[in-house]
Structure 1
Amino acid sequence: MTSTIHGPGPLPTPPLAQEGPDGLVEMNWDPITRIVGSLGIYTKIDFKKKEVVECHSTSSIFRGYSIFMKGKDPRDAHFITSRICGICGDNHATCSCYTQNMAYGVKPPHIGEWIVNLGEAAEYMFDHNIFQENLVGVDFCEKMVAETNPGVLDKANKTEAPHAGEHGYKTIGDIMRSLNPFSGEFYREALAVSRSTREMFCLMEGRHVHPSTLYPGGVGTVATIQLMTDYMSRLMRYVEFMKKVVPMHDDLFDFFYDALPGYEKVGLRRTLLGCWGSFQDPEVCNFAYRDMEDWGRKMFVTPGVVVDGKLVTTSLVDINLGIRILLGSSYYDDWTDQEMFVTHDPLGNPVDRRHPWNQHTNPRPQRRDMDDKYSWVMSPRWYDGKDHLALDTGGGPLARLWTTALAGLVDCGYVKATGSSVQINLPKTALKGPVSFEWEIPKHGSNTIERDRARTYFQAYAAGCALHFCEKALEEIRAGRTKTWEKFEVPDEGIGCGFTEAVRGVLSHHMVIRDGKIANYHPYPPTPWNANPRDSYGTPGPYEDAVQGQPIFEENTRENFKGIDVMRTVRSFDPCLPCGVHMYLGGGKTLEKLHSPTQSLTGE
């Protein structure tokens, strides 16, 4: 047996199955980069029509946080749930603190919330930058395009970049070369930027990615002028970087539409987007459920659900009550005959049995069967009173910008929602004057390219928000209001729910307290929403839906097919969980056995 492990270089060719009697070829990618071996994409491809006919998304990992959270002290919830993920752990800690704030009835001091916002803004900037430039960017780099679409690379080398004066790359081919792993100029520059954004986060929350100064009731960070100065000095360098990044990515992504007519259909699915909102306004937010609609709409990223391009709600109460957890093709037994923890919310609205407050986790391991059960991921849906909608996050930024733009509620000077777009105004920096960008609702809908494009614009959006948060924090400090934490008591009985946006999309935590301990706790990060399998009604999950039916533009023959269009689509959602590698069997180097089982490592 031979094996090869690939880093960020060219895609391996997946094992090629025999063509079936229907003329379809089964091709599988398992694991997918960035999923630690837990995500597999299983497809059937019609090479004659150059189309993906069928797709199944599988997960081979069971976590079980909802099981071992039971009986724990609620005050430990954010420390424990942070460890759900080694990438977005701080998003979980933040969401858990929001949940606890509600359950305990505590409102943090203003400066405490501005510090949390600054930490979360730094996390968006850090994670989106490193994923976009050092992982997604590789899918569009010169080496990758040369291997999958040499004709496109030839055209890129001859195509002048429309915004060359803003980013410095003369042709689209030059942009692609700058994205080559390790050797590309922009690839290396982005790595350096990721360091400063991580430092920004640590200034506010102590440690990345598991915050050491974040608590219910506020933060333990000491609020000083020097703290904000250290953050701002790094932030302004990032702002200058974004003035180059946005036009560069616009040129690259627009080129793919021009070079490959019809590419807008890659990764296209019905526009069903969910955003749970981000960045609290402490002047309004008190974390009380009864006021949740009001303070939710004051977030600097507006919560909402977009159906077929239209905003159907901005109410966090509606969003909360509409969540349903379906099992469908996942490896679990149902909980219809088990206890209901919450029958009505604090406003008296009935709570469904399939809501996370009432969920029980009953794992049932079994053999994978693509016609029945094939994944450890459950199928979250949002019930609009008529249909169980398979919302996705658009990779996070697409849903955030879309809901915020349509709601038209945000205006803090640096960022403004117009009702059809989002304006981002970046101030003068050391080398460049003021720059304004505008993200508009994409005419091509929710597809692979637009998910990736939104990620670039949201980096600039997060930077603009951070500028505002710094100014507000400085106002508090200069006024002497430097208390960052408020005392609280844990009730014997209580419920809480927290809503925010993890980097790659919707994140909610739902907690029930009894006898002062956690009786039920269910976190729902973006990956279950995006990577879920077919549900109880047979509706495919978003990965499945986006890949299934998409055209294939790769120039390679069936025998050398890499599946780059499939990979671009899956990665446009920014799959969550720690980074993995490509691995396949065949065509590699035989591993040499160095020691017998009885030998020590020293050979003695």
Structure 2
Amino acid sequence: MTTIIPDPSHKTETDGLVEMAWDPITRIVGSLGIYTKIDFKQKEVVECHSTSSIFRGYSIFMKGKDPRDAHFITSRICGICGDNHATCSCYCQNMAYGVQPPHIGEWIVNLGEAAEYMFDHNIFQENLVGVDFCEKMVSETNPGVLAQAENTPAPHAGDHGYRTIADIMRSLNPFTGEFYREALQVSRWTREMFCLMEGRHVHPSTLYPGGVGTSATVQLMTDYVSRLMRYVEFMKKVVPMHDDLFDFFYEAIPGYENVGLRRTLLGCWGSFQDPAVCNFEYKDMENWGRSMFVTPGVIVDGKLVTTSLVDINLGIRILLGSSYYDDWTDQEMFVEKDPLGNTVDRRHPWNQHTNPHPQKRDMDEKYSWVMSPRWYDGKDYLALDTGGGPLARLWSTALAQLVDIGYVQSTGHSVKINLPKTALKGPVELEWNIPRHGSNTLERNRARTYFQAYAAACALHFAEKALAEIRAGHTKTWEKFDVPDEGIGCGFTEAVRGVLSHHMVIRDGKIANYHPYPPTPWNANPRDSYGTPGPYEDAVQKSPIFEENDRDHFKGIDIMRTVRSFDPCLPCGVHMYLGEGKTLEKLHSPTQSVTGE
């Protein structure tokens, strides 16, 4: 791990611009590097490149495998959101095999995924992102802001118990902060909830195409809900606390709304199937997609342009540009028409070939192992991002106005979340509103907090539905199926940090082509073949800098907050390449800062 003070070898000056690099970015998983040019006179990031330095190649070694192994294999893409991959792969297989799980099986999957959202968002927000806003960090980067925080009463102190904004910051100090330690305990409950539903975290042992192997009992649901209600009570404290913290930064630092701000281009592939509607058939995908409890959608400049999973699927394009691959324009087309007769593009994942071409990094040419997914709207190749996951999910769901289950409702401009009475607190209604500041660093982080509450509220609904099935005697959790000799499938869901799709082609009963596209390629990609920067790059470059340190003591906190607001997790976007067996010897190690950077 590197210190957040750039290593001298990573700092040069050219034409008044200072080149600085943070490689690897810390407090995330994977080998993400951010390379910038900074104008310290104008206090602005002028240029940014996002790099990833390793290659793994799941799309290559999936070929020839038994399709029924796909979810077990792709789960290992990531040790953070492996269950999201397993779930999406099972959705993809359900379509290819023509199988619909029993209702109780699908409710159990939903409960497992809800627990994963709660677990991952909690531990990332409070124990990793929270460090960027803790007293220790703010004292090192913006001492003037900390002094102001000491004298600023927290508006919702009665809800969360912290008298001033500085008290909130102190509670986030790593290992010593009260809230930091409390969040670690909460992550244990949510992990237990997941294991109750899917056997093992993070690689499910009871999740299969056709349903689950979990035994559906009243006791199972009781064990889950007892933990869920403790989490619900926790969220009644967390949401107002983060609202106070993020609102304070807007007030304390005029112009902070421009940090990490980019054009609102958001993608959400939907989450939480409704088993009463979802049959996993492609011909009905538009209908059952719109019945998800998180609504799929593409948002362009704040407007919802589609909620159709068919449109979303057909619009996906994989571009190369600055990534280390050769093109596949002269290689085989696997799928020319979708099951509805629509033309499938050569650059669609069903037709993609992975041709790695390792080479020396060149910021003007090739510099990353991440490809550049884009969504084609008929005229432009849009560099969609996920807003870290929750921002796109809440924004799409709010605008679509398709969700109303009592615990959560979408209003057209907001999402309302109704948390019931718990042991220590009465019922609470929370409301996430579409942010007036747009898609920026603070709003990505704020949405993550609200989506934890949203996932908890949805889980209450799923548990009620599951209990109704069990009490009615509907305890069969798996439906048998046959693997066809020829077939295609696609699965769509939301990984914790955003859009996730799996595309599979079956020939002779084996996998002929398989491409998983998680959120990291969408967020962390380099400049594409049209020169369009990826979302990390776009959000960082032109972003203002408000850090109070001079250039010789610069930590880059505004840049780090922006990158981490996307919830980076590089294993999903990068792959391993063995090369020619060269040995690299590490001669020295940079120092560590107190804050773990």
User: What are the Cα deviations for residues 515-546 of structure 1, in whole angstroms up to 9, with x where unaligned?
Assistant: 00000000000000000000000000000000
| Alpha-carbon distance between aligned partners in 2 of 1:565 and 1:488, rounded to the nearest angstrom | 51
The residue matched to 1:500 in structure 2 has which SS?
Answer: strand
Give the 3 Å change call, closer, same or farther, for CA 346–219 of structure 1 in structure 2: same
Q: Report deviation, 1:22.
A: 1.8
Q: Report deviation, 1:576.
A: 1.3
- Aligned partners of 1:404 and 1:422 also within 8 Å: yes
Q: Please, what TM-score do these two structures have when normalized by structure 2?
A: 0.95
User: What are the Cα deviations for residues 335-362 of structure 1, in whole angstroms up to 9, with x where unaligned?
Assistant: 0000000000000000000000000000
| Alpha-carbon distance between aligned partners in 1 of 2:428 and 2:312, rounded to the nearest angstrom | 35
Unaligned runs of 5+ in 1: 590-604
Unaligned runs of 5+ in 2: 573-585, 593-597
Tell me what 1:32 maps to.
Answer: 25
Give the 3 Å change call, closer, same or farther, for CA 584–97 of structure 1 in structure 2: farther
| Alpha-carbon distance between aligned partners in 1 of 2:424 and 2:109, rounded to the nearest angstrom | 30
| Alpha-carbon distance between aligned partners in 2 of 1:552 and 1:233, rounded to the nearest angstrom | 45
User: What are the Cα deviations for residues 55-108 of structure 1, in whole angstroms up to 9, with x where unaligned?
Assistant: 000000101000000000000000000000000000000000000000000000
Question: Would you say 1:53 and 2:53 are equivalent positions?
Answer: no
- Aligned partners of 1:504 and 1:526 also within 8 Å: yes
Question: Would you say 1:403 and 2:399 are equivalent positions?
Answer: no
Tell me what 2:379 maps to.
Answer: 386
Q: Report deviation, 1:398.
A: 0.0
Name the amino acid aligned to 2:371: M
Tell me what 1:421 maps to.
Answer: 414
Tell me what 1:597 maps to.
Answer: none
- Aligned partners of 1:34 and 1:576 also within 8 Å: no
| Alpha-carbon distance between aligned partners in 2 of 1:468 and 1:140, rounded to the nearest angstrom | 34
Tell me what 2:274 maps to.
Answer: 281
Name the amino acid aligned to 1:565: D
- Aligned partners of 1:34 and 1:575 also within 8 Å: no
| Alpha-carbon distance between aligned partners in 1 of 2:245 and 2:414, rounded to the nearest angstrom | 21
Give the 3 Å change call, closer, same or farther, for CA 82–588 of structure 1 in structure 2: closer
2:495 to 499, 502, 512: 502
User: What are the Cα deviations for residues 459-500 of structure 1, in whole angstroms up to 9, with x where unaligned?
Assistant: 000000000000000000000000000000000000000000
The residue matched to 1:203 in structure 2 has which SS?
Answer: helix
- Aligned partners of 1:12 and 1:584 also within 8 Å: no
Tell me what 2:451 maps to.
Answer: 458
Question: Would you say 1:142 and 2:135 are equivalent positions?
Answer: yes
Question: Would you say 1:308 and 2:308 are equivalent positions?
Answer: no
Give the 3 Å change call, closer, same or farther, for CA 59–450 of structure 1 in structure 2: same
| Alpha-carbon distance between aligned partners in 1 of 2:132 and 2:590, rounded to the nearest angstrom | 22
Q: Report deviation, 1:584.
A: 12
- Aligned partners of 1:305 and 1:313 also within 8 Å: yes
Question: Would you say 1:109 and 2:95 are equivalent positions?
Answer: no
Q: Please, what TM-score do these two structures have when normalized by structure 1?
A: 0.94
| Alpha-carbon distance between aligned partners in 2 of 1:171 and 1:319, rounded to the nearest angstrom | 45
Tell me what 2:179 maps to.
Answer: 186
1:436 to 429, 432, 439: 429
| Alpha-carbon distance between aligned partners in 2 of 1:202 and 1:123, rounded to the nearest angstrom | 10
1:351 to 337, 344, 355: 344
Name the amino acid aligned to 2:218: I
Tell me what 1:547 maps to.
Answer: 540
Q: Report deviation, 1:13.
A: 3.9
Q: Report deviation, 1:11.
A: 3.4
Q: Aligned ranges for residues 421-570 of structure 1 at < 5 Å?
A: 421-570=414-563
- Aligned partners of 1:14 and 1:584 also within 8 Å: no
1:91 to 77, 84, 88: 84
Tell me what 2:322 maps to.
Answer: 329
| Alpha-carbon distance between aligned partners in 1 of 2:556 and 2:24, rounded to the nearest angstrom | 14
Question: Would you say 1:377 and 2:363 are equivalent positions?
Answer: no
The answer to which of 443-452 and 34-43 deviates more is: 34-43
User: What are the Cα deviations for residues 182-226 of structure 1, in whole angstroms up to 9, with x where unaligned?
Assistant: 000000000000000000000000000000000000000000000
Structure 1 moving runs of 4+ over 6 Å: 583-587
Aligned length: 579
Name the amino acid aligned to 2:514: Y
| Alpha-carbon distance between aligned partners in 2 of 1:131 and 1:544, rounded to the nearest angstrom | 22
Q: Aligned ranges for residues 567-586 of structure 1 at < 5 Å?
A: 567-577=560-570
Give the 3 Å change call, closer, same or farther, for CA 30–368 of structure 1 in structure 2: same
| Alpha-carbon distance between aligned partners in 2 of 1:587 and 1:202, rounded to the nearest angstrom | 38
| Alpha-carbon distance between aligned partners in 2 of 1:278 and 1:37, rounded to the nearest angstrom | 25
Tell me what 2:58 maps to.
Answer: 65
Tell me what 1:226 maps to.
Answer: 219
- Aligned partners of 1:16 and 1:27 also within 8 Å: no
- Aligned partners of 1:86 and 1:577 also within 8 Å: no
User: What are the Cα deviations for residues 396-424 of structure 1, in whole angstroms up to 9, with x where unaligned?
Assistant: 00000000000000011000001110000
User: What are the Cα deviations for residues 130-168 of structure 1, in whole angstroms up to 9, with x where unaligned?
Assistant: 000000000000000000000000000110000000000
Give the 3 Å change call, closer, same or farther, for CA 74–39 of structure 1 in structure 2: same
- Aligned partners of 1:39 and 1:59 also within 8 Å: yes
Tell me what 1:125 maps to.
Answer: 118
Question: Would you say 1:292 and 2:285 are equivalent positions?
Answer: yes
Q: Report deviation, 1:577.
A: 3.9
User: What are the Cα deviations for residues 1-44 of structure 1, in whole angstroms up to 9, with x where unaligned?
Assistant: xxxx56xxx83444366654420000000001244551100000
Give the 3 Å change call, closer, same or farther, for CA 401–556 of structure 1 in structure 2: same
Q: What is the aligned-residue identity percentage?
A: 86
| Alpha-carbon distance between aligned partners in 1 of 2:589 and 2:275, rounded to the nearest angstrom | 57
- Aligned partners of 1:329 and 1:375 also within 8 Å: yes
Name the amino acid aligned to 2:314: L
User: What are the Cα deviations for residues 324-380 of structure 1, in whole angstroms up to 9, with x where unaligned?
Assistant: 000000000000000000000000000000000000000000000000000000000
- Aligned partners of 1:398 and 1:455 also within 8 Å: yes
| Alpha-carbon distance between aligned partners in 1 of 2:224 and 2:8, rounded to the nearest angstrom | 48
